[in-house]
Amino acid sequence: MASEITKARPDSGAGASLKRELGVRDLTLFAIACITSARWIPIAAHAGASSITLWLLAALFFAVPLTIAVAALVRKYPDAGGLYVWTREDFGPWHGFLSFWLYWIGIACLFPSATLLYMRISFALLGPKYAGLGDNRTYLLGATLAALWIAIGSNTVGLKVGKWTENLGAIATWIVGIVLIVVACMTWTRRGSATTPQIIPTWNWSTINFWAAIAFAMSGMENPGMMAGEMRDPERTMRRAGWMATGFATLFYVAATAAFLVVLPAPKISELNGFAEVGDSAGRLFGAPWLSPVLALLVLLGGVGLLGGLGTSTSRLPFAAAADGLLPKAFAKIHPRWGTPHISMLVLALTATALLVMSQLGDTLSAAYDELISMMVINGFIPYVYVFGSAWRAGKRVSVLSGLAITIIAIVCSVVPPPEVSNLWLFEGKIALGTCGIAGVGWLIYRRQLLKRTS
């Protein structure tokens, strides 16, 4: 059955097949683009110096076990489809479909919020003259849609072109980290650190959600694993790229968070405008007003790379499910010239666009959308239970115990309401009903396609 996923079915498009375009270098940059996101740095810095300890713990007990698990599963199943194929082969078709469905919906819903945040950061970093554009819905929505479609569109026309979106995004992320380290070192020599080091994380109910966010930020290695059908020498390529990308992500998050805290104390770093605040402060200290605009461009390029990587890898899930007859045949079509599942990718882009527009229709819908995003974090972690379950069958027992424990802790932390929530039962009820509702819709689609396939 696995071989059916690498080659499209005869009615899927003139015998076209996925092209193996990714070597170690490209997959490493692809993985870096998928698992490192500058948007987490202000959030971590705002929480204080103990975030550095949390980054290291998340890397050791979650990111490393996930890398080991994905490398083992790519070796076992070296075809396109990733977690859908792994789960289907180890736990059956329904579980494979459920893991894909929850993951795909989660990515589709997280796309709009991530893109909006990147664009707002970029506008704020451009200085007071342009910062107001980030609050103008027309400009913000137009720029966000452009970034989203550039990210996914460049990968739709083929990885030979699209991989450069992820490559540039990864390189831009490298440069952001280097710039922040240089700025922090210069600030330290000039006036010392603005923050006192703290090793032990602060424990209280108001910050427990942040613990789940740290684990979520270190996730993503499953995305390059979904591209196994397009790797040259999948086993060797995934193993080497995975370790290099995980090492870079850990170094980036730790160094960038520390750099923020050297420049400014945690209370003066906001979760939304932290880059602008650090850039402006360092720019004034060193007479470098160009620092914030440069950071804006780099952060934006990194964001586009992240979106392109997530969109490209996630589109391989419905492609694989359609090849099994569990989604309409159009999702399994491979473009005869581009060699990509273009229908699958366009549907993801259209879904993300619709959610983005809906989130801007009014304050009530926007508030409801924010609650939906919180719920999607939970759904995003559920597929990891399957990933680590498959890795257990592949013999990676120690990694599974560590990764699965963090997954469960993150899910529990995600359901703890933030301090501003006044109605606990309403908050928890929406999460429970929403999660069950999404799973229920997935079951109906699965049953309908299963009946069509067997009729």
CATH superfamily of the 3-454 domain? Amino acid/polyamine transporter I (1.20.1740.10)
For the stretch 429-444, pLDDT in tens is: 777 777 788 888 889 9
Of 67-81, 154-168, 188-202, 337-351, the range with the highest mean pLDDT is 67-81
Instruction: State residue 9's pLDDT score.
Output: 38
Across 329-348, average pLDDT:
80
Burial status of residue 130 (CB atoms within 10 A of its CB: 0-12, 13-18, 19 or more): middle
For the stretch 237-282, pLDDT in tens is: 888 888 999 999 999 999 999 999 999 998 888 877 788 888 888 8
Instruction: State residue 133's pLDDT score.
Output: 66
Across 72-95, average pLDDT:
87
Helix (H, G, I), strand (E, B) or coil at 22: strand
Across 383-398, average pLDDT:
92
- For 233, list phi and psi in degrees, rounded to 5: 55, 70
Instruction: State residue 79's pLDDT score.
Output: 74
Q: Note the residue count of the chain.
A: 455
Instruction: State residue 455's pLDDT score.
Output: 66
Contact assessment for residue 341 and residue 334, using Cβ atoms and an 8 Å cutoff = yes
Report residue 420's pLDDT band, with 50, 70 and 90 as the boundaries. Answer: low
Of 317-321, 336-340, 451-455, the range with the highest mean pLDDT is 317-321
Contact assessment for residue 416 and residue 209, using Cβ atoms and an 8 Å cutoff = yes
Instruction: State residue 251's pLDDT score.
Output: 93
Report residue 336's pLDDT band, with 50, 70 and 90 as the boundaries. Answer: confident
Higher-pLDDT residue of 403, 15: 403
Instruction: State residue 2's pLDDT score.
Output: 38
Across 85-109, average pLDDT:
88
Query: Whole-angstrom Cα distance, residue 377 to residue 235?
Result: 30
Instruction: State residue 125's pLDDT score.
Output: 67
Structural tokens at position 283: 């720019």
Q: How far is CA 246 from CA 2, 22, 241, in A?
A: 28, 18, 8
The set of residues, in sequence order, having a beta carbon less than 8 Å from that of 214 and lying 6+ positions away, is: 40, 44, 51, 54, 55, 58
Report residue 366's pLDDT band, with 50, 70 and 90 as the boundaries. Answer: very low
Burial status of residue 253 (CB atoms within 10 A of its CB: 0-12, 13-18, 19 or more): buried
Report residue 15's pLDDT band, with 50, 70 and 90 as the boundaries. Answer: very low
Q: What is the 3-state secondary structure (H, E, C) of 123-178?
A: HHHCCHHHHHHHHCHHHHHHHHHHHHHHHHHHHHCCHHHHHHHHHHHHHHHHHHHH
Instruction: State residue 227's pLDDT score.
Output: 79
Instruction: State residue 409's pLDDT score.
Output: 83
Q: Rounded mean pLDDT of the chain?
A: 79
Instruction: State residue 3's pLDDT score.
Output: 37
Examine the pLDDT at 344 and tell me if it is beyond 90: no
The one-letter amino acid code at 430 reads K
Helix (H, G, I), strand (E, B) or coil at 60: helix
Examine the pLDDT at 217 and tell me if it is beyond 70: yes
Query: Whole-angstrom Cα distance, residue 341 to residue 324?
Result: 14
DSSP per-residue letters across 294-314: HHHHHHHHHHHHHHHHHHHHH
Q: How many helices and strands, by DSSP H and E, does the chain display? A: 20, 0
For the stretch 17-67, pLDDT in tens is: 566 767 888 888 888 888 888 888 888 888 888 889 889 999 999 999 999
Report residue 393's pLDDT band, with 50, 70 and 90 as the boundaries. Answer: very high
For the stretch 102-160, pLDDT in tens is: 888 888 777 777 777 777 777 766 666 666 666 666 777 787 788 778 777 776 766 56
Query: How many CA atoms lie within 13 Å of 338's alpha carbon, on the beta-carbon side?
Result: 18
Instruction: State residue 363's pLDDT score.
Output: 45
Q: Where in the chain are the domains?
A: 3-454
Nearest CA-CA partner of 100 in 222, 238, 212, 229: 222
Q: What is the CA radius of gyration of the chain?
A: 21
Q: How far is CA 115 from CA 223, 283, 301, 338, in A?
A: 18, 26, 11, 26
Instruction: State residue 60's pLDDT score.
Output: 92
For the stretch 373-388, pLDDT in tens is: 566 667 778 899 999 9
Nearest CA-CA partner of 316 in 277, 284, 355, 342: 342
Instruction: State residue 259's pLDDT score.
Output: 93
